[in-house]
Structures are given as C-alpha cells and as structure tokens.
Structure 1
Amino acid sequence: MSMRIHDTLRAGLGPNSAPQQPLSTHPLESRLRNWEATQHELRMASLRRTFGIAEPVRRAMELKMVRQGDWRPAELRSGLPSVHEDILRGTDDSLSWEDVFTGDETANVASFHQEMEKKLQIN
C-alpha cells in the first residue's frame, strides 16, 4: 500500500458546494457547439437538391467506410480525423486550433510495438 500526499491544488480543501457547470449560458454557445453538424446538414441538403438522394447516401457510405477502416497507432494521433475523412467532409483546406493542440500532448502513450502486440494479440 502506497501512501500519497494530499494534493490541495488539485483536490481542494474540502467538498465544494458550487455546481460544476455554470447555470447560465449564452444563446450563441449552443449554436457554435453544433456548427459543424449544421454545416454538414446544409451541404447534404444542397447535394440532395442538386444530384438527388444518391449523392448524400454515397458520401455517407464513403465516410462510414473511412471511419471504420482507418486504423492508426496512438503515436500518430489516432483520435483525430484522417486526411481521407477531412476530404470527404470538405474540411481539408482549413486549419483550426483543435488540429494542432488536441489536449492529449501530455498523455502517456503506449509505444508502437506495444500497440501492435495488443492489436494482433501477440502477448
């Protein structure tokens, strides 16, 4: 049994009675949160009006195949969308903050060899 020192900066002094999430939000916040989904729906509606139902269905099938078939090790940032997915979504020409800083820079990543051994069930 290991004894650990209480981390006051992370855990605080005691139980906090304040709610974790703020109760009031700006109306624009929910719209920004759903921006990508709304843009995708507008693109699909435009394709449906122009080319018929087959084009949005084909694109949805291609996107599903890319998401299921694309496997990358964690060292190559496996949680991010692939280049193929970016092309199908039409976001290959944009660069955002989330593309560079994913929030997992300090995460403990398994090595490529450990990940392949786990995937292929060698050990």
Structure 2
Amino acid sequence: MSLRIAPATSHATHTDNTVGRHHNGLQAPHPSKGAPSAPGLPDTLRNNLTAQAPRGSPSLNASTIPTSAHPLEARLLAWRSTQEALKMESLRRAYGMAEPIRRGMEMKIVQDSSFVPLALGGPRGNVHQDILALGGRDAEVSWEDVFHNDEFREPPAFHDEMEKRLKMDW
C-alpha cells in the first residue's frame, strides 16, 4: 500500500455540452435535466456525459452516493477515497493491523443496520456512519443533506415509528 496523497488522474479532461444525451454508447444517469435532489431545477454541472470514474471507497454505501457524470464530482470522490486509504495505512503502520480492521468492522456493522429512525436521517442518511468515517464527516453538510425531495413532509415521531415497526399501532 502506498502513501499516495492525491488520487491518480483517471477523470475525463474534456466535456462537451453541445452533444446529445447519447454519446459514444454512454447513457446519462438521469433522463431528466434536473439534479437528483431537486428534479425541477436544471443542473448544468450534471448534464455532461463522461466516462464514469471509480466511486469512492468500497466501504461507502452505494445507495448514498449521488449518480453524476461531472468529472469534478468523480474527482472529489476519488480524493476522499485516497485520503481514507492514506489514513487507514497510517493507522496500520502506527497501531498494527487490528486498528484498521476494527474500524472497518464497526463501519460494516453500522452500514448493515436494518433500522435507522427518520429522526436520524432515515435510510438515506446515516449519522453513525458519518461519525465513524475517518474524516469526521458528521460536520459536513452536502446538497443531498438539505434537499431530499420530502422537505414539505413532516417526519413521524420516533415513538410512532417504533410502534409501527413493532406492529403496536392498532
């Protein structure tokens, strides 16, 4: 494992806004012109068609990663993946193999949890996963954290959600 600081350049160097929606066999990830979080708003950054770059680290949950064709977003995900690999390698060299394995097991347990209350973000967001991330992603606020298509719906209370889950809502 190397101590690489910046990810390798595997992103596209040029995009063209004048091509159609189908170019060189690539298909746009979203048929609409809007962002996945706000479909009514045109998103010029996501309308480009490029080859898909690797998406983050395998420890990230694939359902929470936004699908985009913009090279900057793919580059930022590759940067996060490289930084995570660097920190895990540093932990392995400082504390031995047990520390990265323990952190990986904790992350896997949190990702595989079957029930996340809506008060903690529901199935879309995982506060525990953000806290366990090596960079401390619990302090970050991204576009998907703010605009998630159901901002006008009031979330159910925690007790109502537990009663429904335990079939006590007769």
TM-score by length of 2: 0.46
Q: Which amino acid aligns with 1:101?
A: V
Once the two structures are TM-superposed, the CA of residue 77 in structure 1 deviates from its matched residue by 2.1
Aligned to 1:54: 98
Answer yes or no: is 1:103 the counterpart of 2:148: yes
CA distance in 2, matches of 1:87, 1:23: 34
Q: Write out aligned runs for 1:1-123 (5 A).
A: 18-19=21-22, 21=28, 22-24=48-50, 27-69=71-113, 71-78=115-122, 79-82=124-127, 84-89=128-133, 90-91=135-136, 94-98=139-143, 100-106=145-151, 108=153, 111-112=156-157, 114-122=160-168
CA shift digits 1:2-50 (9 cap, x unpaired): xxxxxxxxxxxxxxx8446232466544221333222211111111122
Once the two structures are TM-superposed, the CA of residue 94 in structure 1 deviates from its matched residue by 3.4
Moved segments of 4+, more than 6 Å: none
Q: Which amino acid aligns with 2:86?
A: L
**Which deviates the most, 31-40 or 45-54?**
31-40
CA shift digits 1:41-93 (9 cap, x unpaired): 111111112222111001112223344458442244223232x4333213157
CA distance in 2, matches of 1:100, 1:33: 16
CA distance in 1, matches of 2:137, 2:70: 30
CA distance in 2, matches of 1:75, 1:27: 33
SS of the residue corresponding to residue 61 of structure 1 reads: helix
**Which deviates the most, 58-67 or 97-106?**
97-106
CA distance in 1, matches of 2:130, 2:71: 29
Gaps of 5+ in 1: 1-16
Gaps of 5+ in 2: 1-19, 29-47, 51-68
CA contact (8 A) 1:75 1:109 kept: no
Q: Which amino acid aligns with 1:45?
A: E
Report the identity percentage.
39
CA distance in 2, matches of 1:56, 1:68: 18
TM-score by length of 1: 0.58
The structure whose residues are more often helix, as a share, is 1
CA distance in 2, matches of 1:101, 1:76: 14
CA contact (8 A) 2:92 2:99 kept: yes
